[in-house]
Amino acid sequence: MSSPATDPKVMASRLRARLAEDGTTIGHSRALELVAEQLGFRDWNTCAAVVGPALTEPATIPVLRTFPGQEARRFYVDFLGFQVDWEHRFEAGMPLYQQVSRENCVLHLSEHHGDATPGAAVRIEVADVQLLQQQLADSQVYPLRIGLDRADWGEDLAVPDPFGNRLIFHTPAQ
């Protein structure tokens, strides 16, 4: 299964968003063709045939409640290193619903009352939780100094977000 960082459809969405920031608009199908070419395929259909099973596997994506303002972006993007894949508002001034991803983890963050309740916990497997702990300790974005919990099955780093949720980064024991 491809990760959000290497999933061609996610890559195409990111390409469109980045080009739009620079004032260039392209359609989704054109973005898919460009990504397929960058990945070395003749066209999107060839890419989809080769990568297809990874694109059709079901994924579980937790929805976490956030509150209006820039704090979700500051915490999830600036502090934890997630990338914004896409954002949606029904109209200006309405609550934001967005997708963020980091390595093999995809989360939906919602400002909509009723989508989720603050206080959720999500376990996220990472290759090296000790390295992540050090990166977060070195960050100037949040003054969190969180310790590792060690158990026979691995190490956990429980990081509270500003909205009452907990992200538990986990590295399994070798």
CA–CA gap between residue 43 and residue 34 (Å, rounded): 8
Q: What is the pLDDT of residue 89?
A: 92
Q: Which residue has the higher pLDDT, 66 or 14?
A: 66
Q: Are 98 and 89 in contact (CB under 8 A)?
A: no
Sort strands 166-172 and 121-125 into parallel, antiparallel or unpaired.
parallel
Judged against a pLDDT cut of 50, whether residue 22 lies above it is answered with yes
**E-state strands within the chain:** 63-65, 83-88, 97-102, 105-110, 121-125, 149-151, 154-160, 166-172
CA–CA gap between residue 159 and residue 110 (Å, rounded): 19
Q: What H or E segment, with its residue span, contains residue 34?
A: helix 28-38
Q: Class of 63-172 per CATH?
A: alpha beta
Q: What is the pLDDT of residue 1?
A: 43
Q: How confident is the model at residue 50 (pLDDT cuts 50, 70, 90)?
A: confident
Q: Are 146 and 136 in contact (CB under 8 A)?
A: yes
Q: What is the pLDDT of residue 3?
A: 54
Length of the chain: 174
Residue type, 19: L
pLDDT per position as a tens digit, 90-141: 999 999 999 999 887 999 999 998 899 989 999 999 989 999 999 999 999 9
Q: What H or E segment, with its residue span, contains residue 55?
A: helix 44-56
CA–CA gap between residue 123 and residue 14 (Å, rounded): 25
pLDDT per position as a tens digit, 136-156: 999 999 888 889 999 999 999
CA–CA gap between residue 123 and residue 35 (Å, rounded): 31
**Phi, psi for residue 38 in degrees, rounded to 5:** -65, -30
Where exactly are the structural domains of the chain? 8-56, 63-172
Residues facing 113 on adjacent strands: 116
